[in-house]
A and B are shown apart, each in its own frame.
Chain A
Amino acid sequence: MLKRRGVLKVLALSAALAAAGLTSQTAFAQTKTIKVGVLHSLSGTMAISETVLKDVTLMAIDEINAKGGVLGMQLEPVVVDPASNWPLFAEKARQLITQDKVAVVFGCWTSVSRKSVLPVFEELNGLLFYPVQYEGEELSKNVFYTGAAPNQQAIPAVEYLMSKEGGAAKRWVLLGTDYVYPRTTNKILRAFLHSKGVKDSDIDEKYTPFGHSDYQTIVADIKKFSAGGKTAVVSTINGDSNVPFYKELGNQGLKATDVPVVAFSVGEEELRGVDTKPLVGHLAAWNYFMSQKNPVNDAWKKQWAAYAKAKKLPNADKPLTNDPMEAAWIGIHMWKQAVEKAKSTDTDKVIAAMAGQTFKAPSGITSKMDEKNHHLHKSVFIGEVKADGQFNIVWQTKGPIKAQPWSPFIPGNDKKKDEPDGKTIITK
């Protein structure tokens, strides 16, 4: 008996020493959990898109904890609601890092919210995983971008619409919500269209405020514009404005065979509240669609359906997955792998360990984090809306594409490094 107790003591002591040696932050050794922050709007105009990202992150945390956690410690999620209010994002981010002492934050959807939290993460040397497609023109050492850069979504989509298969569009309506992501994306697209010989008179750029709900004039204008030649609409409308926009398209009978609309922020989740029968054929460009058939995706969809049912999530009777959910899923798993590789949750060590991480993604490829530029290599898919609200993939790239956060279509970007410095480079 005595001997056995002695052995136990020695074991406990060495374990404590090992833990203290491994993690510089003693708080972790005491509580035996690693805190992770979840920073998504659960109310306001962006809640339509962001709420499921919170849920899928929590599902990943549950899964990781069930398999024994990370470095032998359980993950403890800290969920906050920045309420689609951009300054509140920065406040909540600061609270997560300084008060809750989270090791990493998964969050943000709109670029304006990311821009708002960026200084906080850089000042406090935090770590943010950003799961949504965006406009590029940014590279911070404290952020990993698991969504698409413009060359992984916007440009392939426009190229497709220009091709014979996509309808050989000659005129372009660039329609977006009025903030940084649509404005920058449209700037890149305009330069790209110029490089393809499209004149300014054949491009119509339009913006609406956040939460805009009266799209009558805009849809009528699109109709008028399309009388001048084969027209395609590139929509960067974000949030719940998409519902009235698509309703108006359907009501005014603007069919995809005449004027196709390709959207960069509309997925399965956003179409949930819309009658999709009049919208058949309108397009979306993403790096993942729920309708993809492969074993990883099948298992993931099943896991999500079971999770939604178990947690009694709203809409659990019709569980949907989408691209940003997939990106969030990849992000948290890669973070876990990087922590295990670094044997630490220290920001700088994890950043170093993230380079070249791979993960079997539901989109059917093995996703790889670029060795240098903090972006994932991604395949691009273009899908057409089906009557049931799912997407039918009509085009895809031959394989994963490396992200170009600095678009070559913006002058001056050729001189920028494809790797974050010790500090951020931001153009404006």
Chain B
Amino acid sequence: MNKGRFGGPFHMRTLITIVFALLSSGALSQEGKDIEKLAFGESDEKIEAIAALVASGTPKAAEVLQALADGELYTAGKRVLMVKGDTATDAVTGEKIASVPDEKEDITVNNRLRRELGAALAALKLISPQVEVRRSSVKELLNSAEPAMLPLVRKALAAESDPQIKAMLGQIAAALELRSEDRAARLAAVKKLADSNNASTKTLLLGFLNEEKDEELKSEARKSLSAIEGRLAWGERLGVIFTSVSLGSILLLAALGLAITYGLMGVINMAHGELIMIGAYATYVTQNLFKGSAHFDWYLIAAIPVAFLVSALVGMALERSVIRWLYGRPLETLLSTWGISLILIQAVRTIFGAQNVQVENPAFMSGGVEILTGIVLPWSRIVIIGFALFVLLGIWLLLNKTRLGLFVRGVTQNRDMASCVGVPTARVDTWAFGLGSGIAGLAGCALSQIGNVGPDLGQSYIVDSFMVVVLGGVGQLAGTVYAALGLGFANKLLEAWQGAVLAKIAVLIFIIIFIQKRPQGMFALKGRAVES
């Protein structure tokens, strides 16, 4: 039984194909035969069929290939069907079929086939009247062009008017012409490829160097190769800088709230991570409210104030009920906030369950922008970097341009004097703690877009946050910024060199040594925390 199950279908299909081909050889056009081969053949035959259909270049061929790529091509008995919604068409004869048969079977498309299919469709679309369609198909072909496509590419090159697309087409043609018999054509191709930004061109040229006999051509190829390598190296450096800044921005967001509660106010708040987690859950709840609505993508904008307010309220409640009784007693503060963090984790676990919850990315946060071929900057990261800058600017304005900021700075620098001149220090403490907590909530909102949201979310950020604040120097916003970026770069450079696990260890060791040499952090400022 097993033998029949596992070995059977392919033989059956081949048999059907052969029988079918014999029966219908007189009646069917070449195109019809190819379509049947596409549907019933084995992979090799399918790929032959794709090549044949591309070469024919008829609208029907394009339609059938597109249907296969979209998963709309089925087999039912001996027929090949294109099913769109409720209507089915016989792909070979073009005849409309009244009802979609129930026993239709999918045509399995694997990666190998999908690759050929993608290239084939792209080649067919090279002469599309729309610029955007042409642009995307040229990009597709940069990595997957086949020698058989050279005539098509040349035709498109002659007809192309857009300079950017034309340049890319030139690259594709040159890459294909590397294998040309004609020496002059090869030479021109090698020279042309020096302008390429594509990593796969490097592979291509390396292979060419191994096979080519002509010395002049070889030296040209080496020149082109070093030009490409230089550009690729720049791309890589840009990539590392971007990932470092991105990690730095995340560390900054996580630590900014703590820079206020711990840095300015001197409260060792072990529940800071949980305030981040609450912000992430607030985002999740907001997302659920927007589910099913047409403006789903905007939930993230709505979640920003919600996350801020929820975390700020929780923070203020903590301050009023627990922390304010413990000012000036760091050990008790540490223990009680740690206890609070456990309570908050368990509370969230009871309300939302122990499993991670799903926060979906809005459409504008998916995908990325390609700055060089191969270097893609994801939108989610770009948005978070921007958001971190926005939060930073907000805090700076609040602390330096508002009355509340003035009070907070005053209380930090000299509590007694501030109290003497009439600043309500207790209330300022509450507001400042709420502000720090709210910013933690904003961090949670941002983190929900790139990581997992679960009750333990805060635990993984609390160590990082303290690291950033302590390294930057307690009581200093600027120090926090430098420390976050510095740690981002150190982490990413080490990771590229030694892997993620060792990078983490190395950064921790570095911080231990640094704090021993310079306990006050990078930038020291006079404040209550320092005085006490």
Contact = CB atoms under 8 A, between A and B. Distances in A.
Interface of A: 42-45, 47-48, 51, 81, 164-167, 178, 206-209, 211-214, 216-218, 220-221, 223-224, 227-229, 240, 243-244, 247-248, 250-253, 256-258, 260, 272-273, 275, 278, 280-281, 283, 314, 364-365, 379, 384, 387, 392-394, 396-400
A394 B110 contact: yes
Contacts of A240: 356, 452, 454
A165 B112 contact: yes
Given A165-B112, A217-B496, A394-B108, A43 B501 contact: no
Contacts of A221: 496
Given A48-B355, A227-B199, A243-B452, A365 B2 contact: yes
Nearest to A168: B112
A213 B450 contact: yes
A166 B115 CA distance: 11
Interface stretch (B164-172, B333-341, B366-374): B366-374
Interface stretch (B147-155, B188-196, B304-312, B377-385): B377-385
Contacts of A247: 361, 380, 450
B465 to A, nearest CB: 15
A361 to B, nearest CB: 13
Nearest to A214: B247
A47 B356 contact: yes
B386 interface: no
Contacts of B374: 223, 227
A252 B452 contact: no
A229 B203 contact: yes
A212 B356 contact: no
Interface in B103-141: 106, 108-112, 114-115, 118
Given A47-B354, A251-B378, A397-B6, A178 B496 contact: no
A252 B368 contact: yes
B444 interface: no
Contacts of B375: 220
A221 B349 CA distance: 37
Interface in B1-36: 2-3, 5-7
Given A206-B499, A227-B202, A252-B368, A167 B379 contact: no
Nearest to A256: B111
Nearest to A394: B110
Contacts of B354: 42-44, 47, 51, 81
A332 B43 CA distance: 40
Interface residues of B, number: 63
B501 A208 contact: yes
A260 B111 contact: yes
A228 B355 contact: no
B360 interface: yes
B111 A253 contact: no
A218 B378 contact: no
Most buried by B among A209, A217, A258: A217
A164 B112 contact: yes
A398 B456 contact: no
B243 A384 contact: no
Contacts of B199: 223-224, 227
A398 B2 CA distance: 7
A258 B203 contact: no
B368 A253 contact: yes
Contact of B366 (A167, A216, A251, A281): A251
Contact of A275 (B115, B366, B370, B499): B366
Among A81, A247, A257, find the residue whose CB has the most chain B CB atoms closer than 10 A.
A257
7 contacts: A47-B354, A166-B110, A213-B451, A217-B243, A240-B356, A240-B454, A258-B143
B492 interface: yes
B504 interface: yes
B355 A47 contact: yes
Given A166-B112, A206-B499, 17 more contacts: A47-B354, A47-B355, A167-B111, A207-B501, A208-B501, A216-B246, A216-B247, A223-B374, A240-B452, A251-B366, A256-B111, A257-B114, A257-B115, A278-B366, A281-B111, A314-B353, A392-B109
A266 to B, nearest CB: 14
Nearest to A224: B236
B114 A281 contact: yes
A267 B121 CA distance: 31
A248 to B, nearest CB: 7
Contact of B460 (A165, A211, A260, A364): A211
Interface in B44-100: 71
Contacts of A250: 366-367
A19 B510 CA distance: 67
A251 B243 contact: no
Contact of A252 (B232, B355, B376, B496): B376
Contacts of B360: 275
B358 interface: yes
Specify the main secondary structure of chain A where it touches its partner: loop
Given A251-B367, A314-B353, A398-B2, A207 B500 contact: yes
Contacts of A44: 354, 456
A51 B356 CA distance: 11
A228 B366 CA distance: 28
Contacts of A396: 6
Contacts of B353: 314
Contacts of B460: 211, 213
B361 A275 contact: yes
B495 interface: yes
A399 B71 CA distance: 28
B200 interface: yes
Interface in B237-265: 239-240, 243, 246-247, 250
Interface in B430-472: 450-452, 454-456, 460
B520 interface: no
B501 A251 contact: no
Contacts of A393: 108
A178 B356 contact: no
Nearest to A364: B5
A96 B239 CA distance: 51
Contact of B3 (A244, A314, A399): A399
A229 B210 CA distance: 15
A275 B250 CA distance: 22
By Cβ-Cβ distance, the 3 closest A-B pairs, closest first, are A43-B354, A251-B378, A227-B199
Contacts of B452: 48, 213, 240, 243-244, 273
Contacts of B367: 250-251, 253, 278
Nearest to B345: A43
A161 B501 CA distance: 28
Contact of A48 (B108, B200, B356): B356
B501 A220 contact: no
Nearest to A206: B499
Contacts of A212: 500
Contacts of A272: 358
A251 to B, nearest CB: 4
A287 to B, nearest CB: 14
A253 B370 contact: yes
Given A48-B356, A314-B355, A43 B451 contact: no
Contacts of A257: 111, 114-115, 118, 144
B355 A51 contact: yes
Contacts of A211: 460
Nearest to B368: A251
Nearest to B492: A217
Nearest to A223: B374
A251 B118 contact: no
A51 B361 CA distance: 24
Contacts of A42: 354-355
A251 B379 contact: yes
A206 B118 CA distance: 31
B243 A244 contact: no
Nearest to B198: A227
Contacts of A260: 111
Nearest to B247: A214
A399 B358 contact: no
